[in-house]
Structure 1
């Protein structure tokens, strides 16, 4: 039986990436309160947020086990993946823009610059005792970093891009797989990481958890 896989994120891009690997995830977005995390180191921040999201979804699903495949928490423990992405430029952290004006100001600052896109990944495999109690679980938490070189674009191009609405929902204020890809000169590192989930890193994490990614193909 295929191992169930839960994505603790509402990101359509992350769901699409998992689909390309042969994984059809159950999507249960996390209600984790990110405002409670006061960390300024980008690597530490994305790892705390990714694990917080995965754990919040795990606790929520434990109380709603009827919605999950049989044995998710016991006979055939499933995986829960939490992710979080941020862009850092000159050490300053940037998440999703607050609104259109914030997005315009962000792009006016970003153009011609080089940023580092951090995506934290937290993979949990919870299980329960025979009495039905949720047990402590091992977790694998890692971060992928990709350097992004932004084009020197005009104010007119910035405003047109913001008006599409695309960057308003993206960490770093751009979508590499969308129109934002037109304004990225090049990247160094994992390109799917910039979209929201590093597929090579996921393969390694699943392997470390005792699962081969190709098992999802059958």
Structure 2
């Protein structure tokens, strides 16, 4: 959920342009989100972005059938984060790295909402959200893809956590909603809003980690790294 605008290809191109003799970052981000990339960069964390080729709808449908019922919003966010992390961890390019997958799902009145994609859906979402409070769930899944040989320090850890943040919205007018949706900003965002762009004008309060609303909680990452016997300082660039 971000207005930061380099394409995923540009992000990877910049990383690939580093010297071939330069040591690759320990962290691999299994996401094409510029917002998540910016959070890590702003936190001084070195990383490489590798986009997962995951069909989100198919992953949710398969889990729903297997479990015999609908997933709640937090479980859905964690499932998608895990699916992305494990897909990237299976790639040769992620060997020797610690892989982080993330995904966000917005919940309002117990109903899960992903990306609206179309203006019509985004407008309907905003008319339902205005003047109210919902919860943005961001799933994080970490896979320690390092060798478990003593010299490499791998632990084989694979686990996740969800950071959930309440978001309160202003009672915005139809004209404001339509103008906001016309910018295109909310269309690729879970819940049809951002807090780090034009959408910030329509948000009256946040209860929780604001980074989780953008798409990645550095504090949650710090806690997950402990399971892999790593410190967040090990990732500082």
* TM bucket normalised to smaller: 0.7 to 0.9
Cα displacement (A) at 1:200: 1.1
Q: Residue 30 of structure 1 aligns with which residue?
A: 52
Distance in 2 separating the partners of 1:176 and 1:143: 19
Distance in 1 separating the partners of 2:39 and 2:148: 33
Cα displacement (A) at 1:213: 1.3
Distance in 2 separating the partners of 1:129 and 1:192: 32
Shift of the 215–190 alpha-carbon distance from structure 1 to 2, 3 Å rule, reads same
Task: Work out the number of aligned pairs and report it.
Answer: 202
Q: CA RMSD in A?
A: 2.0
Distance in 2 separating the partners of 1:127 and 1:53: 17
Task: For structure 1, list consecutive stretches of 5 or more residues without a partner in the other structure.
Answer: 66-71
Cα displacement (A) at 1:171: 0.7
Q: Does structure 2 conserve the Cα–Cα contact (< 8 Å) formed by 1:47 and 1:122?
A: yes
Shift of the 44–127 alpha-carbon distance from structure 1 to 2, 3 Å rule, reads same
- What's the secondary structure of 2:138's corresponding residue? strand
Q: Residue 168 of structure 2 aligns with which residue?
A: 149
Q: Residue 68 of structure 1 aligns with which residue?
A: none
TM-score w.r.t. length of structure 2: 0.80
Q: Does structure 2 conserve the Cα–Cα contact (< 8 Å) formed by 1:144 and 1:201?
A: yes
Distance in 1 separating the partners of 2:117 and 2:155: 36
Shift of the 84–159 alpha-carbon distance from structure 1 to 2, 3 Å rule, reads same
Q: Residue 125 of structure 1 aligns with which residue?
A: 144
- What's the secondary structure of 1:167's corresponding residue? coil
- Of residues 157, 174, 190, the one that matches 2:193 is 174
Distance in 2 separating the partners of 1:124 and 1:208: 10
Distance in 1 separating the partners of 2:46 and 2:155: 26
Distance in 1 separating the partners of 2:148 and 2:127: 54
Task: For structure 2, list consecutive stretches of 5 or more residues without a partner in the other structure.
Answer: 1-22, 65-69
Distance in 1 separating the partners of 2:138 and 2:24: 27
Matched, 1:5 2:36: no
